Amino acid sequence: MPRPNILFIMTDDHAAHAMSCYGSRINQTPNLDRIAQGGMLFNNCFCTNSLCEPSRAAILTGTYNHINEVTTIGAHIDNRQENVAKILQRNGYQTAIVGKWHLGQGPAHWPTGFDYWNILQGQGPYFDPEMVCNGEKVQYEGYTTDLITDLSLEWLKERDKEKPFFMMYHHKAPHRPWDPDDKHVDMYEDIDIPTPDTFDDDYSNRAAAAGAAQMTVAEHLTERDLKQPVPQGLTPAEEKHWKYQCYIKDYLRCVASVDDNVGRVLDSLDDEGIADDTLVIYTSDQGFFLGDHGWYDKRFMYEESLRMPFIIRPPRSIAPESVNNDIITNVDFAATFLDYAGIDQPDRFQGRSFRPLLEGSTPGDWPEIMYYRYWMHLAHHHVYAHYGVRTHRYKLIYYYADALGQPGAIDESKPPEWELFDLDEDPNELNNVYHDPAYADIAAELRGELRRLQEEVQDAPYPAEQP
Ligand code: CA
User: In angstroms, what is the span from residue 16 Cα to ligand 1's centroid?
Assistant: 13
Please give the Cα distance from 169 to 265 (Å, whole number).
10
User: In angstroms, what is the span from residue 234 Cα to ligand 1's centroid?
Assistant: 32
User: In angstroms, what is the span from residue 317 Cα to ligand 1's centroid?
Assistant: 29
- 398 close to 418: Cβ distance less than 8 angstroms: yes
Length of the chain in terms of residues written: 467
**Global pTM exceeds 0.75:** yes
Q: Tens digits of per-residue pLDDT, 185-216?
A: 999 999 999 999 999 999 999 999 999 999 99
User: In angstroms, what is the span from residue 288 Cα to ligand 1's centroid?
Assistant: 8
User: In angstroms, what is the span from residue 53 Cα to ligand 1's centroid?
Assistant: 7
Q: What is the pLDDT of residue 318?
A: 78
User: In angstroms, what is the span from residue 410 Cα to ligand 1's centroid?
Assistant: 20
Residue 122 predicted with pLDDT over 90? yes
User: In angstroms, what is the span from residue 98 Cα to ligand 1's centroid?
Assistant: 16
User: In angstroms, what is the span from residue 244 Cα to ligand 1's centroid?
Assistant: 20
User: In angstroms, what is the span from residue 286 Cα to ligand 1's centroid?
Assistant: 6
For domain 370-457, give the fold: Arylsulfatase, C-terminal domain (3.30.1120)
Domain 5-180+246-368: which CATH number of 3.40.720.10, 3.50.50.60, 3.10.20.30, 3.40.50.2000: 3.40.720.10
Over range 307-330, report the average pLDDT.
Answer: 94
Residue 1 predicted with pLDDT over 80? no
Strand (E) or helix (H) holding 65: helix 65-68
Burial category of 323 from C-beta neighbours within 10 Å (exposed 0-12, middle 13-18, buried 19 and up)? exposed
Same fold, 5-180+246-368 and 370-457: no
Nearest alpha-carbon partner for 148 in 123, 177, 118: 118
User: In angstroms, what is the span from residue 192 Cα to ligand 1's centroid?
Assistant: 26
Q: Tens digits of per-residue pLDDT, 336-366?
A: 999 999 999 999 999 999 999 999 999 999 9
User: In angstroms, what is the span from residue 324 Cα to ligand 1's centroid?
Assistant: 24
User: In angstroms, what is the span from residue 319 Cα to ligand 1's centroid?
Assistant: 30
Give the domain ranges of the chain.
5-180+246-368, 370-457
Nearest alpha-carbon partner for 334 in 40, 72, 88, 66: 88
Amino acid at the residue 348: R
User: In angstroms, what is the span from residue 132 Cα to ligand 1's centroid?
Assistant: 20
User: In angstroms, what is the span from residue 285 Cα to ligand 1's centroid?
Assistant: 5
Sign of CA dihedral 151, 152, 157, 163: positive
User: In angstroms, what is the span from residue 120 Cα to ligand 1's centroid?
Assistant: 14
Q: Tens digits of per-residue pLDDT, 229-242?
A: 999 999 999 999 99
Please give the Cα distance from 236 to 318 (Å, whole number).
53
User: In angstroms, what is the span from residue 26 Cα to ligand 1's centroid?
Assistant: 20
User: In angstroms, what is the span from residue 126 Cα to ligand 1's centroid?
Assistant: 15
- The full DSSP string for 16-60 is GGGSGGGT-SS---HHHHHHHHHSEEES-EE-SS-SHHHHHHHHH
User: In angstroms, what is the span from residue 80 Cα to ligand 1's centroid?
Assistant: 23
Give the percent of the chain with pLDDT over 90. 98
Amino acid at the residue 244: Y
User: In angstroms, what is the span from residue 52 Cα to ligand 1's centroid?
Assistant: 4
